[in-house]
Amino acid sequence: MSKIGLIIQREYSTRVKKKSFIIMTILGPILFAAIMIAPALLAQLEDDELKTVAVIDDSYAFAPVVGEDGKVFHQVLKDTKYIKFDYLIGYDLDSAKKQLNGSKYYALLYIPHNIVNVGTGNAQLFSYQQPNMALKMHIANCMEKHLEDIKLHKKGEELGISQQSIQEIIRVVNSNVEILTYKMEEDGKETKSSTEISMVLGYIAGFLIYMFVFMYGSQVMRGVIEEKTSRIIEVIVSSVKPFQLMMGKIIGVALVGLTQFMLWVVLTFGLVTVAQAILVDDVKMSQMASPAGDITGNTLTSSDQITDEKAEEFVEVFSSIKTINFPLIIGMFLFYFLGGYLLYAAMFAAIGAAVDNETDTQQFMLPITGPLVLSIIIMVSAISNPNGSLAYWFSLIPFTSPIIMMVRLPFEVPIQDVIISMSLLVVTFIFMVWLAAKIYRTGILMYGKKVSYRELWKWLRHKS
Residues that bind another protein (CB under 8 A): 1, 3, 6-7, 10, 14, 226-227, 230-232, 234-240, 445, 447, 458, 464
Query: What percentage of the chain's residues is helix, strand, coil (to nearest 5)?
Result: 65, 10, 25
Residue 229 CB, nearest approach to another protein (Å) = 8
Residue 376 CB, nearest approach to another protein (Å) = 33
**Nearer CB in complex with another protein: 10/151:** 10
Residue 226 CB, nearest approach to another protein (Å) = 7
**Nearer CB in complex with another protein: 432/444:** 444
**Nearer CB in complex with another protein: 98/461:** 461
**Nearer CB in complex with another protein: 199/446:** 446
Q: How far apart are CA 329 and CA 323, in angstroms?
A: 12
127-159: b (≥16 Cβ within 10 Å) or e: eeeebeebbeebbebbbebbbeeeebeeebeee
**Nearer CB in complex with another protein: 124/239:** 239
Contacts of 136 (CB under 8 A, 6+ apart): 125
Q: How far apart are CA 213 and CA 372, in angstroms?
A: 9
**Nearer CB in complex with another protein: 227/308:** 227
Q: How far apart are CA 341 and CA 221, in angstroms?
A: 12
Q: How far apart are CA 448 and CA 231, in angstroms?
A: 13
Residue 430 CB, nearest approach to another protein (Å) = 23
Please count the other Cβ atoms lying within 10 Å of the Cβ belonging to residue 191: 12
Residue 219 CB, nearest approach to another protein (Å) = 13
Residue 235 CB, nearest approach to another protein (Å) = 6
Nearest to 154 by CA among 142, 163, 145, 144: 163
